[in-house]
Amino acid sequence: MPFTVPPRFLWGASTSGHQTEGNNVSSDWWGLETAPGTFVTEPSGDAVDSFHRWTEDMDLLAEAGFTDYRFGIEWARIEPAEGLVSRAAVAHYRAMVKGAVERGLRPLVTLHHFTSPRWFSEQGGWMNPKGVERFTRFVDMTEEILQDEVAHVCTINEPNMVAIYTGALAGAGVDSSGGLPAADPALTERLIEAHQAAREVLHRNNPGTKVGWSVAMQAVEPLTTDDQPAARAFAAERETRFVEAAVDDDWFGVQSYTRLRVRASADGPRTVPLPEHAERTLMGWEYYPAALGNAVREASRVLGDVPIIVTENGIATADDDQRIAYTGAALEGLRAAMDDGIRVDGYFHWSLLDNYEWGDYRPTFGLIAVDRSTFERKPRPSLSWLGGLPRAQAVVA
């Protein structure tokens, strides 16, 4: 099934600040990475030096045929100490917005992608009585960066993962097998409050900006028909509340990579371990491209007419042919959902670059490989294939 796109469809790739920029020394994640005895395999260090090489990254993206770029603004760079605003950091991110527009790339900007200033987290983070106020103060600071050139802003990336893994900054391990704990209820509501407050600030400061947030959707499936209630309950504690909170947003971001299969048990819903023969990605996740279409359908079931943007979808693999096969199959599922009447306004691949995957560099998601000694960018065939896909299929049509 060809993936033809409607007019103004967002067609891009995603990155995040901490994972690509390098030396984000004022962030809580930097503190975690450099502390002894944590789950972190290696620190981010220089990452892939996108703080200095963002122009090259954007050039490669635009030259490949993409029209959109999702990137992040690091709060820890803007406000490295409470109340101290770095004018240099503001100028840097303003230059990135202008640079994207100059290259014909529409920026979708993320304001919080897992990392916070170290001072913010050390004082209780989101659960501090002033946590929401501190975040919205930062959001207010971004008006100068965004101006009227950023049509889409993501307030918080994967807030459900923040609520699930908030213990990670205290040294807890991250389970990539799919055995997700439930999201912390109090933190869930605080993040929703922060998102809604940020949306108000953005709409006031930048009236033309469309505001949403992106949720990690695991495409939860019941093992059998009888397990359907258990699957719903499992998703409710990890995803659904965050989707429901977007009902008044301008758009909603779906981030999907794989599925979780759930069964009922006497102790409540339980994930089903993958069988030994299951095909896995470098993250240990099941190779399951149909997850994207299923996640989009689930989001639409909850949200109705709220436009959906796929803000992340991809695969960690050392085999670029497998990346192309996975992405092509995922797009087929997305196209089928759109043909069934679900409004999808865009697709962003994760990731533009191989980068720091929250603990180590081994999982390679990038359309572009990076030599971490020289920082040389090495575009993979998937970059030009995916970037040129809408154009090529428009010619065929």
Over the stretch 374-388, which tens digit does the pLDDT of each residue have? 999 999 999 999 999
For 182-235, the pLDDT digits (tens) are: 999 999 999 999 999 999 999 999 999 999 999 999 999 999 999 999 999 999
pTM: 0.96
Structure token digits, residue 11: 């067609």
* Residue 393 pLDDT: 60
Burial of 203 (0-12, 13-18, 19+ CB in 10 A): middle
Distance between CA atoms of residues 238 and 178, nearest Å: 12
- The dihedral sign for the CA sequence 37, 42, 46, 47: negative
Residue 65 pLDDT more than 80?
yes
* Rounded distance between C-alpha atoms, residue 192 and residue 87, angstroms: 29
How much of the chain exceeds pLDDT 70, in percent?
94
Give 346's strand partners: 10, 309
CATH of domain 10-217+235-256+286-396: 3.20.20.80
Say yes or no to pLDDT of 178 above 50: no
Mean pLDDT of 28-48: 95
In this structure, the number of other CB atoms found within 10 A of the CB of residue 104 comes to 12
Residue 392: pLDDT band (50, 70, 90) is low
In this prediction, residues 65-88 reach a mean pLDDT of: 98
| Banded model confidence at residue 172, pLDDT cuts 50, 70, 90 | very low
Q: How far apart are CA 158 and CA 164, in angstroms?
A: 10
**Model confidence pLDDT, tens digit, residues 290-313:** 999 999 999 999 999 999 999 999
Q: Is the peptide bond before 351 cis (omega within 30 degrees of 0)?
A: yes
Mean pLDDT of 256-274: 95
What is the C-alpha separation between 397 and 389, in angstroms, rounded?
Answer: 12
Average pLDDT, the chain: 94
- Token pair for residue 192? 């929703």
What whole-number distance in Å separates Cα of residue 24 and Cα of residue 21?
A: 7
Strand 270-271 relative to strand 344-350, pairing: unpaired
pLDDT at 169: 47
pLDDT at 350 over 80: yes
17 pLDDT exceeds 60?
yes
Q: Does the structure show a pLDDT above 90 at 3?
A: no
Answer whether 376's CB lies under 8 Å from 370's CB.
Answer: yes
